[in-house]
Structure 1
Amino acid sequence: MKNIFATDPLTIDLKLCYIGLFTGIIFAIICYILSFSFVDVSLTLFFACFVYYVLKYKDTSNNVNTLKTFKSQYINHVVLINLSFVALTLILVNEMYLFSNIIFLYFIIIILSCLVMLEFISAPSKTIYSLLTISKIFIIAVILRWNMYFQYPNYIGVDAWYHSAIISDIIEFGHLPIDYTYSKYPIMHLLVSIGSLISNITIKNSMGFTVGLFEIISLIYVFLIGRSISSIKIGILATFLVAVSSYHISWGYYIIPMSLGLSVFSTIFYLLFRKKSLLLPRFKIITLLLIFLIIITHTLSTAVTWLFAALLYVSDKLYLIYSKKDLGLSLISLSLVLVVLTSMLGYWMYATGFIGYVSLAIKSSLTTSEISPIVANPLIVNAIERQLNRIELLLFIGFTIIGSLFWLSEGIDDPRKLTLMVSGAVITLLLFFSIFIGIDSALPDRWYAFLYVIIANISAVGIIYFVNSFKNDNLMVFSLVIIMALFTAFAITGAAANGGSAAYSEVQIKESLTESDLHSYNTLSRIYHGKVTTDAYSGLYFNYKAKLPTKNFEPYNLTNDHGLTILRINYLKNNPVSSPVADINQQGYGGYEATLILLNDVDFESLYGNSYSKIYDSRDISGFY
């Protein structure tokens, strides 16, 4: 069979384009008939290949590194752009409230994104102008993450409470606890503990100002990679895509070891990407130290790092076939694969007892129901929010396909481009395959953040290639601004990046604890030391903060004696409670079946007044014993 890489490079893109057109439409039909959820992904593949095919035969500028700039307009409007950006940022920060955001604030964020794009397309490609644009992108990134993080006084999500308990024990006892699963992966907890002790701030604030800040700073590596393989413009646009992505925003406020692992991965990714630098001893030492650091930080981040190192070796071999040039780096790539794999497996064997745990993990990966109880549930969002977030992903993947085909049409002059394409393609296929067959234990939702770091620059190339197809300057500017405004809008709309949005229905994150709730729970934990029945979020507090045994049902189950029962008014407004006396027409009256009702403290007192006594009462919290 004829080797496709041995043909003229100009034909490779068209061959893959035809394959994409055919595969996309066939899979879309199959998924529609079988009611699979990948119709939109298949259609994205089809339309991306179709758009590329049209652009291929259109008189389009093939140099994506020479996006037309409008220097005179930039000089004339630089003051206006920056003043507008500062003014809107101040309005945005001033109008942020606990637990809710007005819809107008999200229009401001979209406008800020448009201002960044106007500056991006009009500014000359010089370092001073690039730094000005990059600084604006970082400001938007901080707002999107810290708005969510500091919007709620308590931790967001189950895992964050768990890890805060480990950090609390480290600070209280002065050593690593041994009774937690993550005691063998302590880097994030030690970092936050040190930050809290040195700065005398709360654990939550220390998480935000250490791990959360590292996640934002790590965006710079996306820019550096884009600048090195393409241009400053590509690097800036790729950084913007990652900064406003919901998959990265969520790890900037849902702070757990995964957040730090993502930051360390971005650093390792950049160092491995600078292949020739690995010939220098100091870069070898730094890379090895970071590899060992990520191994004792987070398991999934380590696995993705090993996978990327393996794909780095594969792409080197493919480049040798493609260009007939041996860069002499394959041995280094293979060594990295072996070092990461050996270190990763060796430490996991030490940390888990290996044989029994691995056999359980393999079994669980094939039967997802066995592992589901220990996997954190995602945020509950309604259909429209989920679809809007999905459009962000589809736009990103669509332009990545266009950018990849364009690079192939130009010929792979830089082996690092092939590394990005091979890594992005393989990880995307693995991600969607795990979702398709239902291996939830692979945590596929967490892979998107790593994928964005890898393919952001390819997506930026696809966007610039598309924008350059417009010969009219006004259309070029308009198309770029609209694309990025839509990407931003879809990214920040759903609950993943914007749980407090006033535009959508109640979501799980809105049921977080208020300052008043926390004050009440502190009081209750001092006067009561037994079993507690409450809602899920309150149960997290009592489990990990007050360290009381809980029966945290969602909804409540009041068919048995569950000790102290705490009713939180904000929760009960929208969540039903299971009661055996809710409906006298059902067997639930005095029997075993229960009916779901909306129950407040008055209803509870009237139904259970003879069995329970109210021992605590505040504006938002009632306690019955």
Structure 2
Amino acid sequence: MRPNTTDSRWFDFRLDVAAAVIGLILGLLMVPLRFLASQVYIETIPIVLALACLLYLVSVRVSNTADFPTLTPTLTRLLPSVAFLGMAALVVVAVHQSRSTLFYYIAVWTGMVVLAQVIFADERDYHVGLLLAQVLVFGMVVRLAGAFTAPGYVGIDIWTHAGNWAPAIKEANSLAPIDTEKYYASPLYHLLVAVGSQLLGVTIRQSLIFTVGIPMALSTILVYATANVLVEQRWAVFAAALYTLSGNVIEWGIHLIPTGLGLVFYIGIIYALTRIMSTSYRIRDFLLVVVFSVAVILTHQISSFIMLIFVGAGLIAKVLLSTGLLRPVRTTGLGEQVRDTTNLTGLLVFDLGLITFMWSLTPYRGSSFLETMLSFFANTLRESAGFLNLAGGSGGSANSAGVTAGPTAMEQFIGYLDAMGLLLLLLLTIAGSLYVLHRRRTSQVTIASIIAIVVMLVFIFGFPLFGIRTFVPGRWLAFITVPMAVVGAIGIAYLASESPKGVAVALLVVFTLVYPPVTMLSSQGTLDDPAFDGVQTRYSYTENELDAVRTIANTTNTSQQSTDPADRITTDHPYGTVFERAWEVNAEPVVIDNGSTTNETVVYREYAQSGAEYYQNGRGEPFQPKVQQEDLCRGYSVVYDNGGVAVCERSMSS
């Protein structure tokens, strides 16, 4: 084992070192923001930025020449069997208990086993195909278990797309049922599901899993292929594992809406562009980009906009490299396949032109989609934009007359749990970004990835910091995970090989033990069956809850066009979204003021006893009380009760 050595070039000007120093100072300067606003990312991102820059500076200052720690040959041969056994156990548990607490317990340990092999397996026993198969199969089991075993659909928007529009399109054999909706000009998702149901002779739900759910799980292969162009195979598999385990990605593998299908096509674009910008590409690579671009535009508006950002980042990267500031030097290692920069102007013009044309034709709220979104953005800037005007409802309180209570310790824990996966990924991404800023490691695709990540972070965290959420930042998290996983793989590869051995081992062990649980137990990764009842909201429904929706919709005059208070039902969120989206029933939130409600008709779920559903207080703010039926329906007549759901109507005497 050779000792650590000091890099004599430490004091030479290097762009990567300068950026790391600036990042460290900036991170420390932003720490006091936590005293101005209580928001998990405001509190944690400055710390992550400073820590990542510090780790990079340490790795530059002290070169590690020690051997990389690896698993023993016996463990290397044993762990694949353990991993596949764990996956088989997950299938058995899912069939009998759905995605229960036991399922998550096994999934977390299996994820650790898979990640440990990816990181620590010895080079002589490193079988890429076997490890990639474990990552792929594990991702499919975790996602499809949720989609298959839930009695109905999981999520909110899916009840519109698969519960309403896709069946209507299948029955009408045309797009007429959505001719007034924004998806009329982006109907690929709905056509795939409807046509798949007809061709395969299966239900809409089964077709949804075949045409969207399985491709979502298989997209992991494209992430591996993208990273494999830039890093060695070990870290390419690591990038695939980061993507597969991400809670923000698992969410769209369970909540199967156009966002997930758009993500698949988006990954295809990144893969094809990576090949074009990094290798001796062929005409088929350009054709692949064009096909995926058109597919994204015909699927999902947000996905299309994010695609534009990445293509534009590639063009900006070419301009930067042409200035000479970041001119790459051809060396072996990272970027050994780097070629001359590629001009993406034609592709950007094509995508921008097609998107503008399609959005101008897309109907949305009485106008075109483009005009409506520009109007929304302008109104936001005029009316609600302001520094630290953080959008999003507060927690509320059980009594609207009282002071809004702060989050409980458990709610704070869940907030950090939900953010931790992205923060760990951000740590590696910052390190990887600093690494490729060195001239000897720069390439068009890596600079493009960094630019795209920075721009997307502005949309996800920067704009909401000023109260601007017009761009639906929550939908962007899965998309930013893709370039972050690739650049993060570059970062972990560098830190593992160049950081002091103790630091490198600690970082790798922490990642192996922490990343799987924080992602798979997060609120995003457990939409169908939360790991922490009473804090995380469940977005799937029991048989009793779905039966109640059908019964109420078929026996009550609850038209959304009715203005009669007697025709309006009230219930909790998200349960009310099923009424509105799948059955077009007029459902409004229950208003609880001083522990009681004045609504005429209340649909009460037994689930409300957990306190994870949402009601409104007297000020119209969402909050999560634990509600008993006898309290909410006191003075009401119970006209329907199936054991899981009760309908309470105000009596004349009340």
Structure 1-normalised TM-score?
0.83
Structure 1 position 342, deviation (Å): 1.0
Q: In 1, Cα distance between the equivalents of 2:631 and 2:434?
A: 65
Structure 1 position 211, deviation (Å): 1.2
2:372 is aligned to 357
Query: Which amino acid letter does the alignment assign opposite residue 201 of structure 1?
Result: V
Q: Percent identity?
A: 21
Distance 1:35 1:403, change over 3 A: same
Structure 1 position 554, deviation (Å): 5.8
Q: In 2, Cα distance between the equivalents of 1:368 and 1:161?
A: 32
Which is further off, 445-454 or 521-530?
521-530
Contact 1:187 1:297 in 2 (8 A): yes
- SS for the counterpart of 1:622 is strand
Contact 1:247 1:496 in 2 (8 A): yes
Q: In 2, Cα distance between the equivalents of 1:597 and 1:487?
A: 32
Counterpart pick for 2:415 among 386, 395, 400: 386
Distance 1:367 1:491, change over 3 A: farther
Is 1:52 matched with 2:48?
no
Is 1:235 matched with 2:239?
no
- SS for the counterpart of 2:604 is strand
Structure 1 position 402, deviation (Å): 1.5
1:41-440 correspondence runs (5 A): 41-61=45-65, 73-74=72-73, 76-96=74-94, 103-121=101-119, 123=121, 129-164=127-162, 165-176=164-175, 177=177, 178-275=179-276, 280-320=282-322, 321=324, 322-323=326-327, 329-330=341-342, 332-352=343-363, 353-354=367-368, 356-366=371-381, 382-409=411-438, 411-412=440-441, 414-440=443-469
Q: In 2, Cα distance between the equivalents of 1:207 and 1:451?
A: 24
Counterpart pick for 1:32 among 32, 35, 39: 35
- SS for the counterpart of 1:95 is helix
Query: Which amino acid letter does the alignment assign opposite residue 461 of structure 1?
Result: I
Counterpart pick for 2:581 among 544, 547, 554: 544
1:14 is aligned to 17
1:270-309: CA deviation from partner (whole Å, max 9, x where unpaired)? 1112226796433333322221221121111111111111
Q: Which has the higher helix share?
A: 1
Distance 1:543 1:502, change over 3 A: closer
- SS for the counterpart of 2:207 is helix
Distance 1:308 1:196, change over 3 A: same
Is 1:451 matched with 2:480?
yes
Counterpart pick for 1:559 among 586, 590, 598: 598
Contact 1:100 1:500 in 2 (8 A): no
Structure 1 position 128, deviation (Å): 8.6
- SS for the counterpart of 1:442 is coil
Count of matched residue pairs: 585
Contact 1:221 1:266 in 2 (8 A): yes
1:510-569: CA deviation from partner (whole Å, max 9, x where unpaired)? 26421122234334433444435142444333333333333453659963645xx53333
Query: Which amino acid letter does the alignment assign opposite residue 232 of structure 1?
Result: Q
Structure 1 position 260, deviation (Å): 0.7
Query: Which amino acid letter does the alignment assign opposite residue 512 of structure 2?
Result: M
Listed as ranges, the gaps of 5+ residues in structure 2 are: 1-10, 330-337, 386-390, 396-406, 559-566, 619-624, 650-654
Is 1:513 matched with 2:541?
yes
Contact 2:275 2:285 in 1 (8 A): no
Q: In 1, Cα distance between the equivalents of 2:536 and 2:183?
A: 25
Query: Which amino acid letter does the alignment assign opposite residue 605 of structure 2?
Result: R
Q: In 2, Cα distance between the equivalents of 1:475 and 1:51?
A: 8
Q: In 2, Cα distance between the equivalents of 1:155 and 1:149?
A: 7
Query: Which amino acid letter does the alignment assign opposite residue 225 of structure 1?
Result: T
Distance 1:377 1:359, change over 3 A: same
Contact 1:21 1:45 in 2 (8 A): yes
Structure 1 position 430, deviation (Å): 4.0
Contact 1:278 1:284 in 2 (8 A): no
1:3 is aligned to none
Contact 2:248 2:478 in 1 (8 A): yes
- SS for the counterpart of 1:156 is coil
Counterpart pick for 2:522 among 466, 491, 494: 494
Structure 1 position 347, deviation (Å): 1.0
Q: In 1, Cα distance between the equivalents of 2:228 and 2:69?
A: 17
Which is further off, 419-428 or 255-264?
419-428
2:532 is aligned to 504
Q: In 1, Cα distance between the equivalents of 2:433 and 2:600?
A: 62
Q: In 2, Cα distance between the equivalents of 1:329 and 1:48?
A: 29
Which is further off, 456-465 or 12-21?
456-465
Structure 1 position 329, deviation (Å): 4.6
Q: In 2, Cα distance between the equivalents of 1:349 and 1:386?
A: 39
1:81-125: CA deviation from partner (whole Å, max 9, x where unpaired)? 122112222223322378875545434323222322343245566
Q: In 2, Cα distance between the equivalents of 1:603 and 1:389?
A: 31
Q: In 1, Cα distance between the equivalents of 2:606 and 2:31?
A: 46
Query: Which amino acid letter does the alignment assign opposite residue 133 of structure 1?
Result: L
Distance 1:401 1:199, change over 3 A: same
Counterpart pick for 2:26 among 17, 23, 26: 23
Distance 1:99 1:440, change over 3 A: farther
1:313-334: CA deviation from partner (whole Å, max 9, x where unpaired)? 111121222328996655x311
